[in-house]
Amino acid sequence: MPVRKAKRYDFKNLGLTVMVEPGGVGETVSTLFKADDNDETNAAFSALESLILACACEGIDIGSKKFRSAIATAHDAIINNLEGN
C-alpha cells in the first residue's frame, strides 16, 4: 500500500503555508503576525489562520478557488475593520 504524503497549501498572498498529514493532523507556518502589530491585529489574524487550519484538518478543500477567494475577502475585511478603529 502506498504511503500517503502530507498535503501542502500555500497562501502566498497571506504569507501562510498549511500542511495536513493523512488522518487530519495539521500545522501552519505563517508570517501573518508582526512584532509591531497590536494585540487586536494579531488576534484577528490568528483566528483566520486557525479557521483555515481547522477546515483543512476536517477535509475541506482549502485549495479550491472559492475557498481561497473567501479567505482573501475575509483577510481584506479584517484589515478594513482594523483600519477603521
- For the stretch 8-63, pLDDT in tens is 999 998 889 999 998 888 998 887 766 666 888 888 888 999 999 999 999 999 99
Q: Is residue 2 part of a domain?
A: no
Q: Is residue 51 part of a domain?
A: yes
**What pLDDT band is residue 70 in, cutting at 50, 70 and 90?**
very high
Q: Is residue 14 part of a domain?
A: yes
**Which residues form the domain of 13?**
7-83
Q: Is residue 1 part of a domain?
A: no
Q: What is the pLDDT of residue 35?
A: 60
**What pLDDT band is residue 85 in, cutting at 50, 70 and 90?**
low
Domains identified in the chain, total number: 1
Q: Is pLDDT at 73 greater than 70 in this prediction?
A: yes
Closest listed residue to residue 16, CA positions, set 7, 1, 28, 2: 28
Please give the model's pTM, rounded to 2 decimal places. 0.85
Q: Is residue 27 part of a domain?
A: yes
Three-class DSSP labels, the chain: CCCCCCEEEEECCCCEEEEECCCCCEEEEECCCCCCCCHHHHHHHHHHHHHHHHHHHCCCCCCCHHHHHHHHHHHHHHHHHHHCC
Taking the CA atoms of 44, 45, 47 and 48 in sequence, report the sign of the dihedral they define: positive
